[in-house]
């Protein structure tokens, strides 16, 4: 099963994706994690991505496409993958659709984790204090939320048209939200 977790920064995609991965036994892959590792290691991709990430902007599609292809076509993703933090733009979504279609597969379900904006800001400021992520400053948080609205929200209509969109209310206890997700998948 190929699943996409869609949600604004701070919506809990990473937490819920990890729980779902354990439950379904398919890997969860987050482009944000891969990019942070690339920046840390100083790889060519990391060097290109760094300044965009620091500013709360998306890494340009032409820079990230290779990484997305690698993830979707990896042997570990043969039986399915939970996509966390990608696709993030319509061109990325089209690329994922095409990569899967070439292998006789498709996006089976997109889960939109829905959280009100003031709650997102509150959570990200809390995370900034705990994890010290350099892109969790008040200014970049606002920027990342605006980028989500402008560049990632159009994916909702894209996947609604494919009949694979499900909205999950993303507030409440972590376990409660996990139950909603599992329930929506009929598991």
Q: How far is the CB of 183 from ligand AMP (least distance, A)?
A: 25
Catalytic residue among 133, 142, 143, 180: 133
Distances (CA, A) of 186 to 3, 4, 40, 47, 166: 14, 16, 39, 42, 12
Interface positions with ligand AMP (CB under 6 A): 9, 30-32, 35, 52-53, 56-59, 64, 85-86, 88, 92, 135, 144
Other C-beta atoms lying within 10 Å of the C-beta of residue 104: 6
**Six-digit token string for 174:** 């972590």
Contacts of residue 105, Cβ cutoff 8 Å, sequence gap at least 6? 2
Residue nearest to ligand AMP (CB): 32
Indicate if 127 belongs to the active site: yes
Torsion over CA of 90, 96, 102 and 106, rounded to 10 degrees? -100
Closest separation between CB of residue 78 and ligand AMP, Å? 21
Known active-site residue 144: yes
88 catalytically annotated: yes
In the complex, minimum distance from the CB of residue 65 to ligand AMP, in angstroms, rounded to a whole number: 9
Cβ-based nearer residue to ligand AMP, 151 or 166: 151
Q: Verify whether residue 13 is a known catalytic residue.
A: yes
* Residue from 28, 88, 105, 123 carrying the catalytic annotation: 88
Residue with tokens 């089209």: 94
Residues with a known catalytic role: 13, 88, 127, 133, 144
């Amino acid at each position: 099963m190929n699943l996409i977790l869609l949600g604004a920064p701070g919506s809990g995609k990473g937490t819920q994706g990890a729980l779902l991965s354990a439950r379904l036994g398919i890997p969860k892959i987050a482009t944000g994690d891969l990019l942070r590792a690339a920046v840390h290691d100083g790889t060519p991709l990391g060097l290109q991505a760094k300044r965009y990430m620091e500013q709360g902007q998306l890494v340009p599609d032409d820079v990230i496409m290779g990484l997305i292809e690698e993830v979707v076509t990896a042997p570990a993703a043969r039986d399915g993958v939970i996509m966390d933090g990608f696709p993030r733009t319509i061109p990325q979504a089209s690329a994922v659709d095409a990569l899967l279609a070439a292998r006789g597969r498709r996006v089976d379900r997109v889960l939109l984790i829905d959280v009100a904006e003031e709650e997102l800001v509150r959570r990200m400021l809390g995370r900034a204090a705990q994890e010290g992520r350099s892109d969790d400053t008040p200014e970049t948080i606002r920027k990342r939320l605006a980028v989500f609205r402008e560049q990632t929200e159009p994916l909702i209509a894209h996947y609604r048209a494919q009949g694979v969109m499900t909205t999950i209310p993303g507030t409440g206890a972590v376990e409660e939200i996990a139950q909603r997700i599992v329930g929506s998948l009929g598991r």
